[in-house]
């Protein structure tokens, strides 16, 4: 079958174009100029733009499935306390009368009311049903009076270690739950979805991904659900089509001593293990060399050197990747000190993936590129787009381009991907690839602020970070190119992302998604 009259971005590199390609038995067998294949019956793509199937290599489908019964409370859908109450009320009305009303993603730093929700606010959603809603950072939440009662939290309850039940002047809990252990004290009282329900929810994500043109994902904390490999494999049997590489969190008690070959291969596989070297900029836990503004704090090292090395040994022994969350420059330096001189253990992909890489001065980047270890990087532009306000407070020189320095990263030979971190990004549709590409090209935040023009890259370069160059970062089983020998996985767009003005890139939509030469999704006309 010949596809013709298209602008094909092949992914072979920036500026590589074709206008026609042939597919046989689900595989691309020829790519070239439409004029060289004029006499055949063909599918006329009407001049539209074609990209290889897109990859989102740092995201959280397991968490999306776990949270599928939660209302979307992220900006721009929810931008006020009043709006939050309204969305939760409407969500509760659609669910069984006795079900918890759960939401995710409010960002109170943008609320005109100037404060976070409390139990008194959420009692307006429902007085007799439990209500729980996560903040966009995922580290804190708020619940109503009924939820506090079910969890048995009152004036006498001590704070959990490392966390707080916020209290009023009389010591009564206000419903604000700060840090993970306080959130878990309430969240763990919800009935857990069983295996079958989780499988159904993953299958429910199929349309989401295909409508976004995403044909492969990496889950960078698959252990948020039980038996993620079995859940995703059962979901694939039941109709979930994207490729999935899973990275459970490092937990020597929960992980098997050795992974069998079957677990490490196939469309759905365990590709590595994840550790967190530091935290995040929004709550000043990213581990940095220079103290935060008006503070002597430099963030925190979240894992000991010994545990980090043990996770690396497990990855080496099992022939999978080590994924290291490292945002601050001090965190990255520690990763280099611990692993930079080690012998790499994988051939086809980097042995160590660095996640986020927010602050990476040139001298550290040279050590990442030039050391013995083979590193790759998954980074983002959607963070700055969605969370600029928080970055500005904690990283005052953010507009000089030092945060997420894409220009410098793209100029290295490293495997490199842009990714969404959905749903841990304060934006409803964080895995809209074209939003992220626009943010990489014009380096503007959601409110239009310049967030570092010197670090901009071109549209072509950004697209390779969702296709061919990204494919070198992780074992997702596809080269993400339109080239002879590759699986015929591609997307057809409704506008030419390669030529529209930079500030219109985010409006480009996927019109069709094709997998192995079959049209698997098309936008309603």
Site residues (CB under 5 A) for Zn ion? 220, 421, 424
Conformation bin of residue 201: beta by default, left when phi > 0, alpha when psi is -120 to 50: alpha
Taking the least distance from each CB to Zn ion, the nearer of 220 and 277 is 220
* Three-class SS state of 97: coil
Nearer to Zn ion, 234 or 278 (CB): 278
What's the closest the beta carbon of residue 494 comes to Zn ion, in angstroms? 29
Q: Residue holding tokens 């599918």?
A: 43
Contact 415, 350 (CB under 8 A): yes
Nearer to Zn ion, 23 or 430 (CB): 430
Beta strands at 321-326 and 375-379: parallel, antiparallel or unpaired: unpaired
- Min separation Cβ 286 and Zn ion, Å: 13
296-317 residues labelled b (16+ CB within 10 A) or e (exposed): eebbbbbbeeeebbebbebbbe
Measured from the CB atom, is 138 or 175 closer to Zn ion? 138
Nearer to Zn ion, 221 or 263 (CB): 221
- Cα separation, 224 vs 393, whole angstroms: 30
Q: What is the nearest approach in angstroms of Zn ion to the Cβ of residue 385?
A: 16
Q: How far is the CB of 220 from Zn ion (least distance, A)?
A: 5
- DSSP code of 54? E
Side-chain-facing half-sphere of 478: CA atoms under 13 Å: 33
Nearest distance in Å: CB 266, Zn ion: 23
Q: Please say which residue, 387 or 421, places its beta carbon nearer to Zn ion.
A: 421
Q: Are 311 and 322 in contact (CB under 8 A)?
A: yes
Angle, in degrees to the nearest 10, between helices 382-394 and 433-442: 50
In sequence order, which residues have a C-beta less than 8 Å from that of residue 210 and are 6 or more positions away?
241, 242, 513, 520, 521
When the beta carbons of 132 and 220 are compared against Zn ion, the nearer one is 220
Residue among 131 and 220 whose Cβ is closer to Zn ion: 220
Residue nearest to Zn ion (CB): 421
Closer residue to Zn ion in complex, CB, 28/286: 286
- Which is closer to Zn ion, CB of 54 or CB of 119? 54
* Choice between 278 and 442, CB closer to Zn ion: 278
- Shortest Cβ distance from residue 427 to Zn ion (Å)? 14
Q: How far is the CB of 424 from Zn ion (least distance, A)?
A: 5
Number of alpha helices (DSSP H) and beta strands (DSSP E) in the chain: 15, 25
Minimum CB distance to Zn ion, residue 122 (Å): 27
CB of 60 to Zn ion, least distance (A): 6
- Sequential DSSP letters for 118-182: -HHHHTTT-SSS-EEEEETTSSEEEE-HHHHHHHT--TTPPPPTT-EEEE-TTS-EEEEEESHHH
Nearest alpha carbon to residue 335 among 394, 387, 377: 377
| CB of residue 420 to Zn ion, shortest distance in Å | 9
Q: Which is nearer to Zn ion, 12 or 360 (CB)?
A: 360
Minimum CB–partner distance for residue 421 and Zn ion (Å):
4
CB of 183 to Zn ion, least distance (A): 17
Enumerate the β-bridge partners of residue 359.
Answer: 403
Q: Are strands 510-515 and 54-59 parallel, antiparallel or unpaired?
A: unpaired
Q: Say how far apart CA 449 and CA 56 lie, in whole Å.
A: 26
Find where tokens 């050197």 sit: 305
For residue 178, the minimal CB distance to Zn ion (Å) is 21
Is the separation of the CB atoms in 20 and 3 below 8 Å?
Answer: yes
Cα distance between residue 77 and residue 428, in whole Å: 7
Using the minimum distance from each CB to Zn ion, give the nearer residue, 386 or 424.
424
Q: Can you tell me the distance from the alpha carbon of 232 to that of 198, in angstroms, rounded to the nearest whole number?
A: 9
Task: Give the residue with the Cβ less far from Zn ion, 70 or 498.
Answer: 70
Closest separation in Å from C-beta 185 to Zn ion: 23
Largest CA distance in the chain: 83
Strand partners, 71: 103
CA 484 to chain centre: 30
Based on its alpha-carbon atoms, the radius of gyration of the chain, rounded to whole angstroms, reads 23
Backbone torsions φ then ψ of 21, nearest 5 degrees: -155, 155
Strand pairing partners for 132? 102, 143
């Amino acid at each position: 079958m010949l596809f013709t009259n298209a602008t094909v971005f092949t992914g072979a590199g920036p500026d590589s174009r074709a206008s026609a390609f042939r597919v046989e038995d689900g595989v691309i067998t020829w790519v070239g100029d439409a004029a060289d294949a004029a006499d055949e019956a063909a599918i006329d793509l009407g001049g539209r733009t074609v990209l290889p199937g897109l990859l989102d290599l740092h995201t959280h489908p397991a968490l999306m499935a776990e949270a599928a019964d939660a209302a979307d409370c992220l900006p721009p859908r929810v931008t006020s306390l009043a709006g939050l109450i309204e969305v939760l009320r409407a969500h509760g009305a659609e669910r069984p009368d006795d079900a918890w009303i759960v939401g995710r993603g409010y960002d109170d730093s943008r609320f005109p009311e100037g404060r976070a929700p409390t139990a008194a606010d959420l009692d307006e959603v429902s007085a007799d049903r439990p209500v729980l809603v996560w903040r966009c950072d995922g580290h804190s939440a708020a619940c109503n009076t009924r939820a506090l009662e079910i969890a048995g939290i009152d004036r006498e309850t001590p704070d959990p270690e490392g966390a707080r039940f916020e209290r009023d002047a009389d010591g009564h809990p206000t419903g604000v739950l700060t840090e993970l252990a306080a959130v878990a004290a309430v969240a763990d009282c919800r009935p857990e979805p069983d295996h079958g329900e989780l499988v159904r929810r993953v299958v429910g994500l199929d349309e989401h991904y295909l409508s976004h043109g995403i044909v492969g994902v990496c889950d960078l904390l698959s252990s948020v659900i039980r038996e993620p490999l079995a859940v995703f494999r059962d979901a694939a049997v039941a109709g979930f089509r994207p490729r999935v590489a899973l990275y459970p969190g490092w937990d020597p008690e929960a992980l098997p001593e050795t992974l069998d070959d079957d677990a490490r291969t196939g469309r759905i596989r365990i590709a590595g293990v994840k550790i967190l070297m530091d935290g995040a900029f929004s709550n000043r836990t990213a581990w940095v060399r220079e103290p935060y503004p008006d503070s002597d704090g430099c963030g925190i090292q979240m894992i000991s050197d010994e545990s980090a090395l043990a996770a690396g040994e497990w990855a080496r022994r099992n022939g999978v990747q080590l994924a290291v969350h490292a945002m601050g420059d001090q965190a990255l330096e520690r990763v280099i000190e611990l692993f930079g001189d080690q012998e790499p253990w994988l051939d086809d992909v980097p042995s160590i993936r660095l996640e986020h890489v927010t602050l990476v001065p040139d001298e550290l980047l040279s050590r990442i590129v030039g050391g013995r270890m083979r590193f790759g990087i998954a980074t983002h532009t959607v963070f700055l787009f969605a969370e600029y306000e928080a970055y500005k407070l904690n990283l005052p020189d953010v507009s000089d381009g030092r945060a997420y320095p894409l220009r410098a990263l793209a100029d290295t030979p490293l495997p490199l991907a842009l990714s969404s971190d959905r749903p841990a990004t304060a934006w409803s549709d964080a895995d809209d690839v074209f939003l992220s590409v626009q943010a990489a090209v014009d380096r503007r935040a959601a409110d239009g602020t310049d967030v570092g023009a010197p670090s901009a890259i071109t549209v072509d370069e950004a697209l390779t970070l969702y296709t061919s160059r990204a494919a070198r970062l992780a074992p997702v089983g596809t080269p993400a190119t339109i080239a002879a020998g590759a699986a015929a996985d591609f997307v057809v767009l409704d506008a030419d992302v390669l030529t529209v003005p930079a500030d219109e890139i985010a409006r480009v939509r996927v019109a069709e998604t094709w997998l192995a030469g079959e049209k698997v999704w098309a936008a309603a006309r």
